[in-house]
Every structure is written in structure tokens, then in C-alpha cells.
Structure 1
Amino acid sequence: MTVLALFTLGVLWIGGRIDMASAGGRPDLEGLPRITVHAGDTLWEIADALTGEADTGPTVRRVMDLNGLSGSEVRPGTRLYLPEGLLR
């Protein structure tokens, strides 16, 4: 029983440390433009529409990093922060 309690406390402590580290690594999002994803939208199409760049890959990566996305799939209703200077 004691081992289980110590293990649980250890996991909670590590989880708290990870949350603090990830929060400290995120830029301040206040004041950044935001958009809402609509049905049928893809992150690639959003990046293309906003920038008009030939290679949207770097823009997709910036949006993913800023919003903590692990992949480029987005769901309708999701609010995405956009990097400063992205809008043309």
C-alpha cells in the first residue's frame, strides 16, 4: 500500500513538472490573431489562404507549434492562434 502511494505521488510530481515546463516554453498568446476552423478546413488550406506562399509547410509548422498541435489535422470549431505577421 505504501509503495503504491509513493508511486502515485511520484507520478503526480513528474506530471506537474512537465506541465510547468511546457507552460514556460509557450509564447505569450495574448493579442495574437485567432481564427475558428470550419467544416472542411485543413491547416494547409488555412495557411495557403492566409499567406499565399508557394510553400505553406513552414507556416503550417509555425501554427502547429504555436497551438501545441501534434499533427496538422484540425477539427471544426477549433480556435487557432496565428503567428504575428502571418496575415497578408
Structure 2
Amino acid sequence: MSAITISTGTMTGAAAATRLRLTARGRRVLATLAALPAVVALSVAMISGGSALATRADGAPSGAFDTVTVQAGDSLWAIAERVAPAADPRDVVAAFSRLNGLDAGLVSAGQELAIPAEYAD
């Protein structure tokens, strides 16, 4: 009979497995690289988000609104009574203010105001 020898399988020297060790600097670099796609995506979203704002010139087709030009001495109340004589002027003034972005409800001569659809002819 022949003798069988069994090896324990231990490695010595250069053949031993090395373990990966990250220094503090390496962890910072790895964290930065991992966060970079999120930062880029957020930056692109913030920059392109401003283009979603609608303006009357860009958002509405030409001729979509009837307009009225403010004459000297006109007020929103007078325009509301002239445009929609059967409606409550308070409701018409509120609709004019919302549609035209008038914060204080003040208008000046020569200004063009869009007429709300429910009061247009």
C-alpha cells in the first residue's frame, strides 16, 4: 500500500491573500464618486426647471385671448362694467387680475389686458 499525504492548505509569503484596506482619503474619494451622479442629475433638473415657466407670449397661441386697451382715466372697475355689463364687476375685476397678473389691480393707459374667456364676446 502506498501512503497518502494530506496538506493543510496554508499559504505563506507572497501567495497569501491580501485584504483591501481603504484609508480615510480613499473612503472620501469613493463617497464622492458614488454621489457624483446624484449631484449631476440634481443640477440638470434645477437648470432645466426654469424653462417650464409659461408666459403669455410663449404659452398661448396668438389670438387665443381677446384684449382690451386701457384708455386714459380707465380703471379695472370701468373696464369690467364695459366688458361684462351683466356680471358682477367684483368677479370680473378678480378674473382680470388673475389672468393678467395684476397684484395691486392698477392699470396704466395704453396697457393691453387679456379678457377672461367667460367674459369674451
Q: Contact (CA 8 Å) 1:29, 1:81: kept in 2 or not?
A: no
- When normalised by structure 1's length, the TM-score is 0.64
Identify which of structures 1 and 2 has the higher relative contact order when contacts are C-alpha pairs closer than 8 Å and 6+ apart.
1
Unaligned runs of 5+ in 2: 1-45
Which runs of structure 2 are paired with 1:26-65 in the superposition (5 Å)? Answer: 28=60, 30=62, 31-53=64-86, 55-65=88-98
Larger radius of gyration: 2
State the Cα RMSD in Å.
Answer: 2.7
Aligned to 2:116: 83
Unaligned runs of 5+ in 1: 1-12
Aligned to 1:71: 104
Distance in structure 1 (CA, Å) of the matches to 2:75 and 2:50: 30
- When normalised by structure 2's length, the TM-score is 0.48
Q: Contact (CA 8 Å) 1:33, 1:81: kept in 2 or not?
A: yes
**Displacement of 1:59:** 0.6
Q: Contact (CA 8 Å) 1:47, 1:60: kept in 2 or not?
A: yes
Identity %: 30
C-alpha change, 1:74 and 1:86, in structure 2 (3 Å) is same
